Structure 1
Amino acid sequence: MNHEQAAIEELLFQSGAHLDIENPKWENGFIGMLRPFNTKLSEDNFHKIVNALHVLSDEFSHNNIRKDIISSIWGICHLTKTWAINSEGILQINSLITSEQIKQLENWTEHISHITFCLIDGCKNNIAFEDYNIEFNKNLI
């Protein structure tokens, strides 16, 4: 499996869209950590998503971006907002999430959304990832 395939697979696990639901990556991924919510957020999941976007950044320059890439990113952002960030979401209604965790999830989904928008819009990587300060590593995925 090459780096791009591994990045797509990572996004599928993080979004809960991967077909291998028995794999711990599915349950412990970004969406998996929210349902059922075990009171802990994994910053590592956020970094894996951003790293996958960095690996796939050339993919966004194509006129036809793979549906599974967009679906995974959209799923991560949408489901996080629906379940956790929205005041009517299941995690807030049941008082399962703290205000600090909500802010953290807002921050992460805003970063993911901003990076994705920039890549789709044709921005260079230095602009898309300018607010993200870690060393990118293709071996993280």
Structure 2
Amino acid sequence: MRIVASSDWRDGLAFEVPVLVSDLSPGEAARCFVCGADSEPLARTELWAVKHRHPKNHSGYVRFYCLEHRPAPPRITPTVDPRRSSAGERRAAPRRSTPAVERPSVLCPDCFVEVPATGVCGICGNTVGA
């Protein structure tokens, strides 16, 4: 038996971005998650859907919020390229370390396996010179 996740309107939402519920799916009036079950149901044009991350469910979960309790959308911070100065001039590229010199692989003449840098074969124990 193969178990697959179902697909619905919640899959198309981005995480932590408020979206009007009326733009997502039609339906009856609903309540704000923060206001609680004792509050008056609000029209879908007055509710915001926010998809939150969940530690055990990669699809996350969606909650409805009124305008007063709606979480703020995430701030997009500009990324700064460290190779550029504040005046927009290009700085010198960072120095790269020299690549390590690889030693040629040495094979044991009896076992035909590669011998480690110690020169001792791990299978038969013969000392093999480079």
Band of TM-score, shorter chain: under 0.3
The structure that is strand-richer by fraction is: 2
Instruction: Give the TM-score taking structure 2 as reference length.
Output: 0.19
The structure that is helix-richer by fraction is: 1
